[in-house]
Amino acid sequence: MVVISIPEEDKKTILGFTGFNNFEAYFVFHTDGESFEVSAWCKLEGITLKNASSIKLEPFVIAEEENFNNLLENYADYVGRKNSARIPSETVTGWIDWQYYREEKCEADVLRTMHAMKKLTYIGYPLKYIVIDGGWCDFASK
């Protein structure tokens, strides 16, 4: 999901995928001076289609709104309805390592993160979980 805000215009535009079932999907921006081009991509590596067959890509939405917070809330509500989202009884708080380490991490990295989070909880941050994402297990590459 991305939000575009053009300084001369009051409206903000959101582009966001609404399904997360089959592919990694993302937006690519190309800028040239004062103009830009946006393209939506679905990663299809490793997928082979037989002759005359088709595949359904991840859907996305484009919406405009003057109020940034309303725009995000409306997008989140829409995606939640489309995906039958459930609201947890408590807010899940913590840290997920994927955006920082990707697949390049070891036990020492995870422990260092845990100790840093522990210090933050002492000063009031409600951090409860660490999610260890891809790259942790050797069996995944075998």
pLDDT tens across 91-107, in order? Answer: 888 888 877 787 778 88
pLDDT in tens, 100-141: 787 778 888 889 989 999 999 999 999 998 888 765 555 544
What's the predicted TM-score (pTM) here? Answer: 0.61
pLDDT in tens, 19-52: 877 778 889 999 888 788 999 988 888 888 888 8
Q: Among positive and negative, which fits the CA dihedral 106, 108, 114, 116?
A: negative
**In a 3-state reduction of DSSP, which class is residue 132?**
coil
